[in-house]
Chains A and B, each alone.
Chain A
Amino acid sequence: MLLFVLLVVLTPLGNWWLFITYLLIIFTVILIAKLPPLTVIRRMVIEVPFVIFAVLMPFFSAGPYVSVLGMQLSEAGLTAGIGLLFKGTIGVLSSITLASTTPMREVLSGLSRLKVPNMLVEIAAFMVRYVDVVVDEMRRMRIARQSRGYFETGIRSWPVIAKAAGALFIRAYERGERVHLAMLSRGYQGKMPSYQIAIATNQQWLVGMILPISAVVVLILGWRIS
């Protein structure tokens, strides 16, 4: 998946039909995996800031201008914007596919087998474990605020939200300390047991490589033709 995204990012801008092919490939994978389209769309909301940025690019970039629908747009900005849109969408779609088809534990053990430093894998594991706890804590704090007659209204509520964020940070930090104590109590000495899982078979490797290989094929074909 990572290799696929890397290849997509490395594809030179301007070869638009290459990107369309990539999109088709990832859509096929999503279809085969039978992911519910609504979930995929909901999760794609994370891309919105990038989309806005990409849409703005043609208006603010310098360089030779082209006229599109009666507007003077920068050619370089247009290319970069469309490129960002394609690459971003393909990247987000790939991540969503990985996240929805592979249990978190296997993603983590996979990362550690791919020789990602243990420290990073452990941090990711802790984040996955505690994100719910912290979000829950945040929700309880918000309900407690509202129960005392507080309404969040625009910019004037920011100081309160900032203080709440500070309190939440301290609570999360203190929980981190308590978790560490509990780990020490069970004999933790700075090394996590490895996430043991069967080594990937050749077949699994093959299935896993389908995406990057198809991207390489598309890339080479595009290069030969142009």
Chain B
Amino acid sequence: MSEPVLEISGVAYAYPDGHQALFGVDLHVHRGEKIALLGPNGAGKTTLVLHINGILLPGAGSVRITGMEVKTENLKQIRSKVGVVFQDPDDQLFMPTVRDDVAFGPNNMGITGEELDDRVNQALTAVGMQAFADRAPQHLSFGQRRRVAIATVLAMQPEILVLDEPSSNLDPAARREIAEILNELDITMLMVTHDLPYALELCQRSVILSAGTIVADRNTYDLLADEELIKQHRLELPFGFKLDPSLAKK
């Protein structure tokens, strides 16, 4: 098999206050895969995400992106390979206009001029926001801001796109629109979520992170069908939701 885009092996991490969040996490993601990272609140999902682009460095074990180890010396390359979309778009969008914000990442990578404009336009087109390029982020709706937040990361043309709760706080239509955008993208993706139907819709494979370790890693349909397993880790399908068996062999 080809070299994994993301290779997490034996990662353990304790916060400076002594609280240990991760206890040896192993996860491989291959090119083109779309994977859901499921888990209850406090399982360490966000901590794990911050390891993928080297905001946090593992206390033990290692994280590799397309073979390159995440460590202080090569953070610059790592950050251009890993695109993280944070949960609150207001944390991510801080420039005076949408265009400036989308240009921020590639600009940090040293891209300027026409290529920068191209990247900004491509990224905004991919999320259907090109008409809003010159607007201020604070004047957009929440769903639109989430789309721009995704564009800010796409403009960096990362090897892997990491999304923290992409469906949170959205109305049903905006939730569906984001799903359509994510489905269209030809990119390796790791999506952190509690939204199990969303995982089923977008990801072939899912893993459950619980109490700082990976406790399950399989086809999303099979995983969600295992009621005992998901219940054990504080995950539940929404009320009235029944798995459609025709989705089983996707």
Contacts and interface: CB of A to CB of B under 8 A. Distances in A.
Interface of A: 104-105, 108, 125-126, 128-130, 132-133, 175, 178-179, 181-189, 193, 195
Contacts of B91: 175, 178-179, 181-182
22 contacts: A108-B96, A129-B93, A175-B90, A175-B91, A181-B91, A182-B86, A182-B94, A183-B94, A184-B79, A185-B55, A185-B82, A185-B86, A186-B79, A187-B76, A187-B79, A187-B109, A188-B108, A189-B76, A193-B100, A193-B103, A195-B96, A195-B100
Interface in B65-90: 76, 79-80, 82-84, 86, 88, 90
B152 A181 contact: no
Nearest to A133: B90
SS of A interface (majority): helix
B79 A105 contact: no
Nearest to A130: B94
Nearest to B162: A185
B138 A105 contact: no
Chain B interface bracket (under 10, 10 to 19, 20 to 34, 35 or more): 20 to 34
A25 B80 CA distance: 53
Nearest to B149: A182
A175 B55 CA distance: 16
Contacts of A133: 90, 138
Interface in B111-143: 136-138
Contacts, number: 75
B221 interface: no
B156 A186 contact: yes
The 5 closest A-B pairs by CB, nearest first: A187-B108, A186-B105, A193-B107, A105-B96, A178-B91
Contacts of B53: 185
Given A104-B96, A126-B94, 14 more contacts: A125-B95, A133-B138, A175-B90, A181-B55, A181-B86, A182-B92, A185-B79, A185-B83, A185-B84, A186-B152, A187-B76, A187-B80, A193-B107, A195-B96
B188 interface: no
A104 B96 CA distance: 8
B211 to A, nearest CB: 24
Q: Max chain B CB contacts within 10 Å: which of A130, A186, A188?
A: A186
Nearest to A178: B91
A198 B206 CA distance: 49
Contacts of A108: 96
Nearest to A106: B96
Interface string B42-71: 000000001001010000000000000000
Contact of B96 (A129, A179, A182): A129
Contacts of B97: 105
A105 B138 CA distance: 14
A178 B50 contact: no
A184 B52 CA distance: 13
Contacts of A175: 90-91
A108 to B, nearest CB: 7
B104 interface: yes
A128 to B, nearest CB: 7
Contacts of A188: 104, 108
Interface string B14-47: 0000000000000000000000000000000000
A29 B91 CA distance: 39
